[in-house]
Structure 1
Amino acid sequence: MTDSPYTDLDRPPLSQSALNRALLRPGGLWTRITVVDSTGSTNADLARAAREGAPEGSVLVAEVQTAGKGRLGRSWTAPPRSALTFSFLLRPRVPVARHGWLPLLAGLGVVSGVRRVGEVEARLKWPNDVLIGERKLAGVLAERVDDAVIVGIGLNVGLRAEELPVATATSLAVAGAASTDREPLLKAVLRAIEAGYREWTAAGGDADACGLRPAYLAASATVGGRVRVELPGEQTLLGRATGVDESGRLLVEPDDPDEGGERAVSAGDVVHVRPRL
């Protein structure tokens, strides 16, 4: 494990047994929660487990990740026990076209847990970031593996300002959260994700029928604002984010009328464009 100047009193380890006692129940989504001191990538580890037939609801938590990745292959690191870095395995029995909602659903679960435990106002940046103000608190990465989906989350909890990887990042500690205790935070996030996932799958992945789309829009920091979307193929779309469609794609009304009407974006790097003063 990477050396750290902080002791267990500053950054206590997570308790695997306590998490299992609190979150595993008959008929519940979560089936096994494993906590490891260190691994390269929880997403990669669960992807291998998925190919070997691991059950839905498997959760892997690492006290530190040495080769964590975000969207577009970006690296993601944090000092040991300063963050929540975990992945979970889902086998959703809903149309694949609606799987785009999974990272959005997970992000909404993070917002719920952060607001409940940390008592700070977190919001969502499409498709996979959790923000406090305009600074990134957490990221979500969903990957399809055969008939399974692995969802990974990295949430900055106890990082000090000098430990933040980039100037645009933040943590619950830096934001002055009411609590930076990772165990109740992880429990709150996983409970919120379970509730949302149960409702979404019961509705066949219909984000309107289960209330997911209106809940997401209410927590969105993207919809309603001007954005610049860096699209695949080095293309750029500048316009106003108007909503999210039935598949979880971002809807953008281009500034340039020659680009046609509203466009649905399924992949891209989104930058919030502040109005000029």
Structure 2
Amino acid sequence: MPPRTAWGMWWASWASLTGSRGAGVGELELTLRPRVPMGYLVALPAVASLGVMDALVDAGNSEAGLLWPRDVALVPAGRPAFELDGRGGYDDGGVFVRLAIRRTLGDGDDAAMPDDAAMPDDAAIERAVRERVSTWEGDVAAGRSAGGPWAAFLPDYFDHELRMGREVEVTYPNGRVMARGRLAGFDIWGRATVVDESGHELEFSAEQALLRSPDRE
């Protein structure tokens, strides 16, 4: 285990990626202790986003999907239904990640949901998230994620990212547009690849840039 000063610096670096984005409609906070290499913990919000998506699908929202790097959306609503952030540390029990799951749909947004669908409650979300994290932990222990933290769940994430193969804008963290192109995929460390209008591949992490659909500000 690194000394607390080094640990704090490492997590401070990650906090710039997953720091608070403001209050939502409601928030669920979970403390998770996956037994994976410390460098893999940055992938935990993405793993958890798959769990939130599972809970939405189980509640009848068959079109629910993902928005890189860690948000979950209802396709008809056109914007995140849940935003996930993580912050880590360690205590006498070892390393942990404190995961915040924010419901961001406002009044009237659920009108776009299927008639027979519902929003999952906190208990259903927690069960689905913990199940995904447990599966990931098992995959890492079995060597199925040796190349990088996203390796074991990357195919599933790829299949459910709602903008995959579509035109996107690549923006700096301040919102200024850096490039436009087609979302082509992700690598085993969670970096996104966009093929720009001239055919060049752009690869970047969520610390460097974000994605948005061209018809959204």
TM-score, normalized by length of structure 1?
Answer: 0.57
Where 1:142 maps in the other structure, the secondary structure is strand
Where 1:99 maps in the other structure, the secondary structure is helix
Percentage of matched positions with identical amino acids: 23
Contact 1:254–1:261, Cα closer than 8 Å, also in 2: yes
Contact 1:142–1:149, Cα closer than 8 Å, also in 2: yes
Deviation at 1:148, TM superposition (A): 2.5
Q: Quick one: distance in 2 between partners of 1:186 and 1:202?
A: 24
Distance 1:126 1:75, change over 3 A: same
What are the Cα deviations for residues 114-169 of structure 1, in whole angstroms up to 9, with x where unaligned? 11113341111111221222232111112233542221111257x532xxxxxxxx
1:199 is aligned to 2:139: no
Aligned with 2:113 (options 152, 175, 185): 175
1:160 is aligned to 2:107: yes
Q: How many residues align?
A: 186
Unmatched runs of 5 consecutive residues or more in structure 2: 1-7, 9-16
Q: Quick one: distance in 1 between partners of 2:119 and 2:81?
A: 15
Distance 1:236 1:196, change over 3 A: same
Aligned with 1:145 (options 82, 89, 106): 89
Q: Which has the higher contact order (CA 8 A, sep 6+)?
A: 2
Unmatched runs of 5 consecutive residues or more in structure 1: 1-50, 52-69, 162-169
CA RMSD of aligned residues (A): 3.1
Q: Quick one: distance in 2 between partners of 1:248 and 1:107?
A: 13
Q: Which has the higher helix share?
A: 2
Contact 2:150–2:190, Cα closer than 8 Å, also in 1: no
Aligned with 1:245 (options 187, 204, 214): 187
Contact 1:100–1:249, Cα closer than 8 Å, also in 2: no
Match of 1:30 in 2: none
Deviation at 1:232, TM superposition (A): 4.3
Alignment of 1:94-243 (within 5 A): 94-133=36-75, 134-146=78-90, 147-156=95-104, 160-161=107-108, 170-171=109-110, 174-180=112-118, 182=120, 185-204=121-140, 206=145, 210=152, 212-232=153-173, 236-243=178-185
Deviation at 1:204, TM superposition (A): 2.1
Distance 1:263 1:194, change over 3 A: same
Match of 1:33 in 2: none
What are the Cα deviations for residues 48-75 of structure 1, in whole angstroms up to 9, with x where unaligned? xxx9xxxxxxxxxxxxxxxxxx966432
What are the Cα deviations for residues 217-244 of structure 1, in whole angstroms up to 9, with x where unaligned? 1111122222212224767232221111
TM-score, normalized by length of structure 2?
Answer: 0.70
Larger Rg: 1
